[in-house]
Amino acid sequence: MKTDIARRNFMGKMAVLLGYAGLGPLQLSGQGRSRQAVAGAPDPKKPADYDKLIKLANNENPYGPPEGVLKAMNDAWKYGNRYAAPDGGIFDAIAEHHHVKPENVLIGCGSSEILKIVDDAFLPDHKLVVGVEPTYETVYRFATNSKAKAIAVPLTKTYDANMKEIIRVTKLNARDVGVVYICNPNNPTGRIVPKDEIKLLLDSIPGDIPVFIDEAYHHFVDDPNYEPSVKYVIEGRKVIIARTFSKIAALAGMRLGYAVAPKEIIDQLKPFVMSYNTNTIVKFGGVASLKDTANEAKIKQLNKQIRDRVTGELKGMGYEVIPSQSNFFMVNVKKDVTPVAEEFLKKGFVVGRKFPPMTEWLRVSVGTDEEMKGFMKVFKELFPAQPTAQTKAG
């Protein structure tokens, strides 16, 4: 893959200007993000193989949608022949959920469509998006497609967003910055941007630069230093929040996400939305899902319990794990993750993809208890316990 990335010191303070985000062996388009076939391994594109695979690569909810959501969707099939079918009240439900007006809400074919139309509206040719690296790389891919560029600020030594640097480069390039992208918590690290740093960002950069905060994994966070940012929309700041039903709500394949933003921004985004962009069935599912707070709490708790157990085991084996506030985590396997992911695939587990420059860090989505026991079994087969500092010294 041709790249004109000028990479600099990963942990340093320099921002990196990205032409193409560092594309690895996986193609990154929604339709093309498929794994290359691996000799001797199951092929995820074959339904029979797919069903048997343990899928720990896309940060999905492994339990599936709860009964009430399935019922709401099943009851909506009768509208499947219509464009202008009832929408189940999805705009009102989202608005109510966030204490905003329906005019502050735009729904998309997953939050991917929101990322795309933010790019269409705010990143024309030569504009800049400021974000971190690594982050959810789709944003940089869209920017590249529209001939905009990304200023990607390296993470700090603790794998956090370097907010001072984000602010510095945004101010320095203020005339050309179309949008600042903050993924909170960040994919792939699972790290949050604390509430005071979001405030610092908004208070420090020119007020006419939109700040796009992607809260796809918001529901999994329990760090008290985190806070959702819809309050800034209510304050009338130039902030766009993206949320999705693909993660905790378990509707990834049904495709529903949304933006919450001030009305003027929603009006700027609307012309770029694809006609009839979301299916009728999932709108009903989305409404039922927002109401089912008990299921959400259950999934959050299960995820935390299993994630903390598995990451504790990995750390106990001597591997470095980035403390995550999400439904995935990164473990440093100290070798290129592409062949590592292939080895996992041969054993029936889909894990990782490469997130340059963290090429030796494997991202693992948190599956069910049984799936993660299987993951640990394979991990122990592939990786020996690391000598601890004490045994090294001895």
Binding site for ligand PLP (CB under 6 A): 59, 110-112, 136, 183, 187, 214, 216, 244, 246, 252, 257
Q: How far is the CB of 136 from ligand PLP (least distance, A)?
A: 4
Q: How far is the CB of 189 from ligand PLP (least distance, A)?
A: 11
Quote the tokens at residue 18.
């990205």
Q: How far is the CB of 119 from ligand PLP (least distance, A)?
A: 13
Backbone angles phi, psi at 152, to 5 degrees: -105, 115
Whether 289 and 249 have beta carbons less than 8 Å apart is answered as yes
Residue whose Cβ sits closest to ligand PLP: 110
- State which residue, 228 or 383, has the beta carbon closest to ligand PLP: 228
d(CA 178, CA 127): 6
Q: Which residues, including other chains, have CB under 8 Å from residue 122's CB and lie 6 or more apart?
A: 178, 179, 210, 212, 268
- State which residue, 65 or 110, has the beta carbon closest to ligand PLP: 110
Q: How far is the CB of 289 from ligand PLP (least distance, A)?
A: 13
Provide the terminal-to-terminal Cα distance of the chain, rounded to the nearest Å: 46
- State which residue, 278 or 383, has the beta carbon closest to ligand PLP: 278
Q: How far is the CB of 332 from ligand PLP (least distance, A)?
A: 21
Whole-angstrom CA distances from 236 to 145, 195, 231, 240 are 30, 17, 9, 11
Q: Phi/psi zone of residue 126: left (φ > 0), alpha (ψ -120 to 50 degrees), beta?
A: left
Q: How far is the CB of 138 from ligand PLP (least distance, A)?
A: 7
d(CA 90, CA 319): 44
Q: How far is the CB of 54 from ligand PLP (least distance, A)?
A: 18
- State which residue, 216 or 288, has the beta carbon closest to ligand PLP: 216
- State which residue, 112 or 162, has the beta carbon closest to ligand PLP: 112
- State which residue, 75 or 276, has the beta carbon closest to ligand PLP: 276
- State which residue, 280 or 365, has the beta carbon closest to ligand PLP: 365
Whole-angstrom CA distances from 110 to 14, 15, 173, 256, 320 are 33, 29, 31, 4, 33
Q: How far is the CB of 256 from ligand PLP (least distance, A)?
A: 7
- State which residue, 115 or 319, has the beta carbon closest to ligand PLP: 115
Q: Long-range contact list for 224-231, CB < 8 A, 24+ apart?
A: 225/192, 225/194, 225/195, 225/196, 226/184, 226/185, 226/192, 226/193, 226/194, 226/195, 226/325, 227/195, 227/198, 229/184, 229/198, 230/98, 230/99, 230/100, 230/260
